Chain A
Amino acid sequence: MTELLVGTKKGLFVLEGHGDSFEITSRHFAGEPVEFATRDPRSGRSLACVTSAFYGPKIFYTDDLSAEWQQATGVELPEDAEKPLERLWTIVPAEGDDHLYSGGAPGVLFESHDGGASWELNKAFWEQPTRPEWSPGAGGMCMHSIATWPGDPSRVALAISAVGVWLTDDGGQTWRHGNKNLYPRYMPEEARADTIDLCVHNMHRAPKQPERLFMQFHGGVYRSDDAGESWVSIADGLPSDFGFPMVIDPDDPDSAYVIPLVADMDRTTPEGKVRVYETRDAGASWIERGDGLPQDDAYLTILRQAFCGEGSGASMGLYFGATSGDVFGSGDAGKTWFSAATNLPPVHSIRAA
């Protein structure tokens, strides 16, 4: 059985299913925007980032989806912050037992050492000297991608829209940029070489070859083979290099999946066709995957956290949701697709548990 945690503009929906048949089994946080929800595979604990328009961003957790959720503590900025915490975008298991990271806006990293019950702001990142110069993307200054290094808790890569990639080799005590060769077309030519206004949309590390990362940029798809220090374009062969979500096959370091959108000025699926693109040669070529997806007058928008994988290899599950409220799935690594749900609120995130 596959369980999907689908964060939407109006609550968290739990879908359960086998093969190509899914049903909604429960709804949580009715009416509230759930930006992200995931289940920690180590503990089985479910965690949700809920950003009430009225009551502010919170993290909730539960060990049993049929029981009440508990509010996590410590999810706040220092009292002297210029603005309050805006939103939480992701939660990622780290390398240590019960260690988790959460990223949010305005460009902040939280850590938990008790499985998500309590959190603490990473002060070194909060106190970056260049922070006053940072600029947000359209969705806020969101830290959306946290790439841990399997077996080495000291090495982590972060990505922020629009403050680029950040790397640490000492478990988050110090941070440095990892932006070499990123090409921001949205900046004046004279400013491209030195700017830190780098709008990364998504970033993933290949667990079996951790010095390799893949990135969806705001106009660009990239690969790094030096742990995020520098990047090479791998966008040739895609109908567009703009998009938000990205998934990798964890057992194949040459793999990545993206869902291109037309461009920043038209954030819909190109040509009215919903297509996923897969590479199995580290971006040298891309394979179009649309069998079973809408191919006529389908102008969907898929947000950055609304795409996930489950398992690996030829039977890898892939699931994505759109702001239309549609959820699609594949049980054969993208070769064929089915509808898993329709008529949900706009989908913010999806993770398989």
Chain B
Amino acid sequence: MPVVRLRAPLSELAGGKREIELAGSTVAEVLQALEREHPGVKGWILDERGAIREHINVFVNRDYGHEDTAVGASDRLHVIPAISGG
């Protein structure tokens, strides 16, 4: 199964786990599985419409991913805040 890698504070919301194996064949499916398994994460990465928040980057391995980006069993998803803010 693909692995999602999280940093704080998301990892804290996921029970302290920094790496989680989750089922899914797209980025959205994997992140929705993350929300089901760890409800504390709900609303933090995906907004209420199911879209990745504007200032969150989700990489599939080394490439930027989007909601519909395909994910394979050996892929790693990195959820990282964007380089933005003030």
Interface residues of A (CB under 8 A from B): 9, 53-56, 58, 71, 75-81, 84-85
Contact = CB atoms under 8 A, between A and B. Distances in A.
B15 interface: no
A71 B40 contact: yes
B1 interface: no
Contact of B44 (A9, A56, A78, A85): A56
Interface in B1-57: 9-10, 40, 43-45, 47-51, 53, 55-56
A9 B56 CA distance: 19
B49 A81 contact: yes
18 contacts: A53-B55, A53-B84, A54-B53, A54-B56, A54-B82, A55-B9, A55-B44, A55-B56, A56-B44, A56-B47, A76-B48, A77-B49, A78-B48, A79-B48, A79-B50, A80-B49, A84-B53, A85-B48
Contacts of A71: 40
Interface of B: 9-10, 40, 43-45, 47-51, 53, 55-56, 81-82, 84-86
A128 B55 CA distance: 30
Contacts of A54: 53, 55-56, 81-82, 85
Nearest to B48: A76
A78 B49 CA distance: 7
Chain B interface SS verdict (over half): loop
A230 to B, nearest CB: 37
B51 to A, nearest CB: 7
Contacts of A58: 43
> Which A-B residue pairs are the 4 nearest by beta carbons?
A84-B47, A76-B48, A54-B81, A55-B44
Given A53-B84, A54-B82, A76-B43, A84 B48 contact: yes
A78 B48 CA distance: 7
Contacts of A53: 55, 84-85
Chain A interface SS verdict (over half): loop
A231 to B, nearest CB: 35
Contacts of A55: 9-10, 43-45, 53, 56
A81 to B, nearest CB: 6
Nearest to B85: A53
A79 B49 contact: yes
Nearest to A9: B86
Contacts of A77: 48-49
Nearest to A58: B43
B52 to A, nearest CB: 11
Contact of A56 (B50, B53, B85): B53
A54 B82 CA distance: 7
Contacts of A79: 48-50
A79 B42 CA distance: 13
A152 to B, nearest CB: 33
Nearest to B56: A54
A69 to B, nearest CB: 12
Contacts of B50: 79
Given A53-B55, A84-B48, 7 more contacts: A55-B44, A77-B49, A78-B48, A81-B48, A84-B47, A84-B53, A85-B48
Contacts of B56: 54-55
A217 to B, nearest CB: 29
A81 B50 CA distance: 11
B31 to A, nearest CB: 13
B36 to A, nearest CB: 16
Contacts of B40: 71
Contacts of A76: 43, 47-48
A346 to B, nearest CB: 10
A86 to B, nearest CB: 10
